[in-house]
Amino acid sequence: MRAVNPAMRKASDMSFTPSPPLAQFAKLGFFARGRAVDGTTKSAESVKFESLESLRGLAAMAVCLFHSQFYLPATPTNFFRLSEIFVDLFFVLSGFVIAHAYLSKVRQGMAFSKFTLLRVGRLYPLHLCMLLAWLVYILAKAYHFRTHSGPNSEDPFELNSLQTFITALLLVNGLGFDEKQSWNYPSWTISVELFTYFVFFWFVVSLRRWLKPWHALALSVTAYAVLSAVGGDTLLHSVDYGVLRCMGGFFLGVFVNMMLHRRKDLKVGSLAGSALEVFALTAMVFAVLRSEHSKVGQLIAFLSFAGVITTFAISQDGIASKVLRTRLLVLIGTLSYSIYMVHALVYNVALNVWEYALKLPVGRNPGGGTGKSVPLDFLEVIAVNAFLLACITAIAYLTYTLVERPWRDRFRRVTLRPAAVVVDAPLAGGSAGEA
């Protein structure tokens, strides 16, 4: 069996350099092209994935702003009002990265138990941490409701029930068991993504040597077709048909990775790369702006995400790639999962502080839901959301440092123990121990 290298970084975690202490930024410089945090030269693979990681971080920020209750009214073409669709960028990028990290290993016989430990260890600890934080928050809101309820007060347990807590605890809250999003509501995407990981594993195992890129594309097209047939006038479903939405995007990303794997030598120069990057990003923004209330527009946006990922996978020297590899954006990319998981609680606590501590007015959700929101003018929207995004990033840095990264590494070490290697040995055919 091949010797295990515990220091190996994982493409599947999109964390190709350790998150540096904030104090190191001034020493390392704003642009860090080609250099790792410790000053060593990065591989081309590392540089490529840094750009994609930063894109994921920016997409996470866009989703944060979509969920913000502090909004600018009367903006018919507000980009961030439509940025819910960037969840699908996560799905496509996840498929791309998981295929890059695991496809050949699963083909060679990686044990399902090892694959499961690695993926659960990546997602579940932070999910559990934030679910418990939400439990404290909901209990505090329930106490306030019982003691200070007014005519417009809402019982927090009407939405956040014991049943939905259990489905969230079991991470099946995105698989059709719940009628609405509740508790840490962005976690429905983690639920469907974990399920899709398992589909990916058995998909690869079933086809193994016969697996071709068009198989992944066929599964993606099938998922989107079924979603379109059952999902009414939108493809942007969550707890009802969200698993189909995830599978469509995920296997689109798998398809992109498999196609690029066949053309490993495909690269573009600096000038052509810059032009291609600007075109891909412009097309993506235009597609997102045209996606509202249109299944065709949403599908075009999904394809634009695949196009952006393809572009930054083959272009490493373009102007956008250089910007995406700045320290700040790489940090945001590294923290993207934590940012995504903590932002809803931060925004909800901020809304309660606004209403109950500062005694400032709030309105109803402009989308017609039961939630509350705060319409502000242009400068107020920028100031409040910038402050809250800074708070979210700071808290995400703590959860990444204290929860996400340590528990990911603990689960990884479990798979590197001799017993775990023995389990993989009969199937791995000499590749046991690689994760």
- Residue 231: the pLDDT is 83
Q: What is the CA radius of gyration of the chain?
A: 22
- DSSP assignment of 327-369: HHHHHHHHTHHHHHHHHHHHHHHHHHIIIIIS----EE-TTSS
Strand partners, 375: 71
Q: Comparing C-alpha atoms, which of 393, 389, 391, 433 is closest to residue 412?
A: 433
pLDDT over 70 (residue 36): no
Q: In what order do the strands lie in the sheet with 70-71?
A: 70-71, 372-375, 363-364
Average pLDDT over residues 272-301: 90
β-pairing verdict for 372-375 and 363-364: antiparallel
Mean pLDDT rounded to a whole number for the chain: 80
CA dihedral 327, 328, 329, 335 (to 10 degrees): 110
Place of tokens 């189909």: 244
Which amino acid is residue 20, in one-letter code? P
C-alpha dihedral over 345, 347, 352, 354, to 10 degrees?
A: 160
Q: Return d(Cα 435, Cα 432) in angstroms, integer.
A: 8
pLDDT of residue 201: 94
Domain ranges of the chain: 11-428
pTM: 0.80
Q: What is the pLDDT of residue 223?
A: 94
Instruction: Say if CB 246 and CB 193 are below 8 A apart.
Output: yes
pLDDT tens, residue by residue, 372-382: 778 788 888 88
Please determine, for residue 190, whether its predicted confidence score (pLDDT) is greater than 90: yes
Query: Which among 420, 429, 414 is positioned nearest to 107, based on CA atoms?
Result: 429
Q: pLDDT band for position 75 (50/70/90)?
A: low
Confidence band of 430 (pLDDT split at 50, 70, 90): very low
SS3 state of residue 326: strand
What confidence tens digit (pLDDT) does each residue in 339-375 have? 999 999 999 999 888 887 887 877 766 544 446 778 7
More confident residue, 283 or 148: 283
The pLDDT assigned to 127 comes to: 96
pLDDT of residue 35: 44
> Is the predicted pLDDT of residue 423 greater than 50, yes or no?
no
Q: Please report, for residues 148, 185, 293, 371, 375, the alpha-carbon distance to residue 362 in angstroms, rounded to integers and kept in the order given.
A: 17, 21, 27, 10, 8
